[in-house]
Amino acid sequence: MNLIHGDCLEILPGLDAASIDLVVTSPPYNLGISYQSFRDTAPRAEYLAWCRRWAAELRRVMTDDASFFLNVGSAPANPLMPHQLILELTDGENPLFTLQNTFHWIKSITIRTPDSRQTSAGHFKPINSKRFVNDCHEFVFHLTKTGNVELDRRAAGVPYVHKSNIARWGHTGGADLRCRGNTWFIPYDTIVSRDKERPHPATFPVELAELCVLIHGKVRESRMLDPFLGIGSAAIAAQKLGVAHFTGIELDAHYLDIARERLEAAQRRRDEELPLE
């Protein structure tokens, strides 16, 4: 576990080419979020150019069959940002990546039950507006160099509700797991104090990073990177799943300290759960 304090644009050039198998990260969204050490209000063209700079370094350090999972959110008043960013990285004369999959991180959802009741699950930040509805999802773009990277689709799979389908469909291979698909319902844990339990203004759940790691596959052989570590959700996922090597880069020393504390706390919880021999 290698956690580095610094600017990723200064740290990434020091990493070896083709030394990373998996990137899972969430950069600043340029939506005016209040970080401690970063100005999140750059002009759009300046922001996109900055993103292309660090993304080019990511491409250099990634192997040819590496996966890059990029979590990006938007704001109702600024809905084009994720799409502009992904076009910056995948379109034009010199695209850096191919967009292989688009996942939707669903934070809250309302569904109709079989008995025709409507029920809601999850959490969202309410919006007081006469123009916009509550924003309950973010994107996770799966980028690769070629668009042809094979994945372990069922590593993050879900059991069949109707077990007869296991034998009915040949693609199951007799396993009670089906591909989860590209909509991931991952609610935030309920918290009492945001300052103490979620001190970073734009972090993603550990489970989201876990799904990325599992779907890419080759978990215990992977060399994983998060160039915008924040308070360490990707690092905790890597530690929990037994990723071979993890590198995290974080500009803010305070967030990095919290990431280290969270890693230690997560490891203590796992140690306490181990059965006595």
Is 40's pLDDT higher than 80? no
Is 197's pLDDT higher than 60? no
Query: Containing H/E element for 108?
Result: strand 108-112
Q: Quick one: what percent of the chain has pLDDT higher than 70?
A: 89
Residues 162-173, mean pLDDT to the nearest whole number: 74
Task: Express each pLDDT in 118-167 by its tens digit.
Answer: 998 898 888 888 889 888 999 999 999 999 999 999 899 888 887 877 77
Q: What is the CATH number of domain 2-273?
A: 3.40.50.150
CA distance 258 to 98: 34
63 and 55 Cβ atoms separated by less than 8 Å: no
Is 35's pLDDT higher than 70? no
CA distance 182 to 204: 17
Sign of the Cα pseudo-torsion (50, 53, 56, 60, in order): negative
- What is the residue-averaged pLDDT of the chain? 88
CA distance 124 to 45: 29
CA distance 51 to 141: 14
Question: Would you say the pTM of this structure is higher than 0.85?
Answer: yes
Q: How far is CA 148 from CA 30, 98, 151, 230, in A?
A: 31, 9, 9, 30
Is 3's pLDDT higher than 50? yes
179 vs 168: which has the higher pLDDT: 179
pLDDT value of position 170: 67
Question: Domains of the chain: which residue ranges?
Answer: 2-273
Is 113's pLDDT higher than 60? yes
